[in-house]
Chain A
């Protein structure tokens, strides 16, 4: 039966005796202390997460991505301690200093602001936008998708029309429109970006729910009086965890790109705050004078998003046992659709 869900599979594995795994030694000693049987023991199966972590560790791209990501997060988090200068400090006497002058590791921009310090602080902004947007949009998407998929009927119809509406408006335009009307603030930007990127998650969760809500274990849960919320959270949502996590990781990269795009257009982060996108728009103005200035922030975006995507792919490969081209194709098309809305 191929409709066996993750949960069921786990359950089946747990009761099946003689299951063995790679970490035999550790598992044996553990279960021995608990069960005390002689001879060959049924060992606890490693479970979804344990297997996942092991698989993830064997994927060099994913590990490298995670390492780079952690490095960037650490640099951004410690920007206050690492950065040699205040990123907004203007020093016209030392404007346009080439890399390596004095204490300026990467030189200064046209106002004499230290580029290395600005990169560090921009990292703070870009990364927090990335993670915050992914978090909020997963929240919205899960909520809408669960309600839609679980209750069905006219609620589903209304919510799905809403998704249609959102998908028919060019999203970059919508972002620009909202930010132009309400003004660009850090918190607005997160909300606006989340508000325009939850549809994928909603569809995904709804799809899973439609598939699973007729399953017998759901029926059983309902029969013994589990509430709607209980069924949604414990029995349905848990089965959508893996695809949600994968989508969320990809969303982090997408949000970082979107933030840089909006800031570049002058509708995102505003001076004296700084972000990689804002630095790029600045660099374009002065590219005759200082062509190197455009290189650094762009490289930072490229590396971070690449790292996030590698981690996302690693998680997908590690947790999703289905290795069908269908899944892969769907992912590429989702990504490229997203990307095309941000050219």
Chain B
């Protein structure tokens, strides 16, 4: 077990290292390189050189990379080029906002999807199952941001029941009731998207278990049907479900670039798009690395959860199980 943990940890470090190199390399591969984009326009050649020197842009790339990495590891995410603000100051609040939005949607969709999917597996191809199927197919084929725009048109503009966008009304910043009102529309959009997958996933996981021999044995020896399903079936069906929940943990932070843009939600996804259009590369790098770290941590947790709920799995022997 310890050996496995250490190996996984080292693997993760290598992956992280590669990601940081790729991101850094991509940014410096930009036509003209950051030198041209970051320097103020209209400078004389001399002044431009001086500014490049001040920003450290005239040093060789590997050195720049090491300096950036060193700073990053100490929590210094760098500065924006436009107003010279610390990146951390811009980034961390948006992480929180994204987590509020994604966390609500994610938990809501899990709470609906898992019981529903399990119910559907016991009545496969019944009307409830067909409804779930319909929702899944439509949810999968529909651009989420389009659904968001339609909801805005209907509930915010036409009926005027809910706020159109943003996280708080201007004069009500920090009020929880106002936040809830603003959450309704984006959460509905995201929940539908997540629901589409989870319902089907829960259903098929459960169906798979219900076909096993031990279920037949339980039925044959006269165990009550409800007990067969909830005690013999459900406990085993939860294993893959828990695994996928672990694997999806990172969506808490890396998700909703599109939904955030539709609803003008001040989260990390919107920040990323905004900064990409403004070419604020230090912010982009920070976001990419931070989300990548969280994705890797999520995968790691998924593996551990997997071993925890399924006694058949022995992490050390099987190698990278769920990842």
Which residue numbers of A lie inside 8 Å of B, CB to CB? 161-162, 164-165, 167-170, 172-174, 176-183, 253, 257, 260-261, 264-267, 277, 280, 283-284, 287-288, 291, 294-295, 297-298, 301-302, 305-306, 309-310, 324-326, 328-329, 332-333, 335-337, 339-343
Partner of B262 from A164, A173, A257, A284 at Cβ < 8 Å? A284
* Closest B residue, CB atoms, query A183: B31
How far apart are the CA atoms of A309 and B139 in the complex, in Å? Answer: 12
Tell me which residues across on chain B come within 8 A of A261, comparing CB atoms: 143, 145, 258
* Pair B149/A181 contact, Cβ less than 8 Å: no
- Minimum-distance CB pairs A-B, first 8: A336-B197, A298-B146, A180-B276, A305-B141, A329-B204, A306-B141, A170-B254, A325-B208
Within 8 A of A (CB), among B244-275: 244, 247-248, 250-251, 254-259, 261-262, 269, 272-273
* Pair B258/A336 contact, Cβ less than 8 Å: no
* Pair B158/A173 contact, Cβ less than 8 Å: no
* Pair A329/B19 contact, Cβ less than 8 Å: no
* Closest A residue, CB atoms, query B293: A168
Task: Tell yes or no: B119 within 8 A of A by CB.
Answer: no
- Give how many A-B residue pairs fall within 8 Å (CB-CB): 196
* Pair B18/A170 contact, Cβ less than 8 Å: no
* Closest B residue, CB atoms, query A181: B30
Interface size on B, residues (CB 8 A): 74
Binding-face segment, B21-29, B50-58, B173-181, B223-231: B21-29
Tell me which residues across on chain A come within 8 A of B183, comparing CB atoms: none
* Pair A253/B146 contact, Cβ less than 8 Å: no
How far apart are the CA atoms of A145 and B153 in the complex, in Å? Answer: 46
* Pair A329/B205 contact, Cβ less than 8 Å: yes
Given A169-B292, A173-B291, A265-B257, A332-B141 contact (CB < 8 Å):
no
For A180, A287, A339, the residue with the greatest tally of chain B CB atoms inside 10 Å of its CB is A180
Task: Tell yes or no: B111 within 8 A of A by CB.
Answer: no
Tell me which residues across on chain A come within 8 A of B254, comparing CB atoms: 170, 173, 341
How far apart are the CA atoms of A283 and B292 in the complex, in Å? Answer: 33
Q: Within the complex, what minimum Cβ distance (angstroms) separates A297 from chain B?
A: 8
* Closest A residue, CB atoms, query B156: A287
Task: Tell yes or no: B287 within 8 A of A by CB.
Answer: yes
* Pair B259/A335 contact, Cβ less than 8 Å: no
Given A161-B14, A340-B193, A325-B255 contact (CB < 8 Å):
no
* Pair B258/A264 contact, Cβ less than 8 Å: yes
Task: Tell yes or no: B91 within 8 A of A by CB.
Answer: no
**A-side interface mostly:** helix
Task: Tell yes or no: B137 within 8 A of A by CB.
Answer: yes
* Pair B211/A325 contact, Cβ less than 8 Å: yes
* Closest A residue, CB atoms, query B243: A333
Task: Tell yes or no: B15 within 8 A of A by CB.
Answer: yes
* Pair B140/A265 contact, Cβ less than 8 Å: no
* Pair A336/B198 contact, Cβ less than 8 Å: yes
* Pair A172/B204 contact, Cβ less than 8 Å: no
Partner of B29 from A167, A181, A325, A342 at Cβ < 8 Å? A181
Partner of B137 from A180, A306, A343 at Cβ < 8 Å? A306
Q: Within the complex, what minimum Cβ distance (angstroms) separates A281 from chain B?
A: 9
Tell me which residues across on chain B come within 8 A of A340, comparing CB atoms: 193-194, 197, 248, 251, 255
Task: Tell yes or no: B201 within 8 A of A by CB.
Answer: yes
Tell me which residues across on chain A come within 8 A of B147, comparing CB atoms: 298
Tell me which residues across on chain B come within 8 A of A174, comparing CB atoms: 288
Task: Tell yes or no: B5 within 8 A of A by CB.
Answer: no
Q: List 10 A-B contacts (CB under 8 A).
A: A161-B11, A179-B276, A261-B145, A291-B153, A325-B204, A325-B205, A332-B136, A332-B201, A339-B144, A339-B193
Given A176-B272, A176-B276, A168-B292 contact (CB < 8 Å):
yes
* Closest A residue, CB atoms, query B250: A170
Tell me which residues across on chain B come within 8 A of A266, comparing CB atoms: 273, 277
Tell me which residues across on chain A come within 8 A of B211, comparing CB atoms: 325
* Pair B149/A280 contact, Cβ less than 8 Å: yes
How far apart are the CA atoms of A172 and B144 in the complex, in Å? Answer: 14
* Pair B18/A287 contact, Cβ less than 8 Å: no
Task: Tell yes or no: B120 within 8 A of A by CB.
Answer: no
Q: Within the complex, what minimum Cβ distance (angstroms) separates B165 from chain A?
A: 10
Partner of A332 from B18, B22, B197 at Cβ < 8 Å? B197
Given A266-B277, A301-B146, A339-B140 contact (CB < 8 Å):
yes
* Closest B residue, CB atoms, query A325: B208
Within 8 A of A (CB), among B276-321: 276-277, 279, 284, 287-288, 291-292, 295-296, 299
Q: Within the complex, what minimum Cβ distance (angstroms) separates B214 from chain A?
A: 16
Within 8 A of A (CB), among B68-125: none
Q: Within the complex, what minimum Cβ distance (angstroms) separates A167 from chain B?
A: 8
Tell me which residues across on chain A come within 8 A of B143, comparing CB atoms: 257, 260-261, 264, 277, 280, 298, 301-302
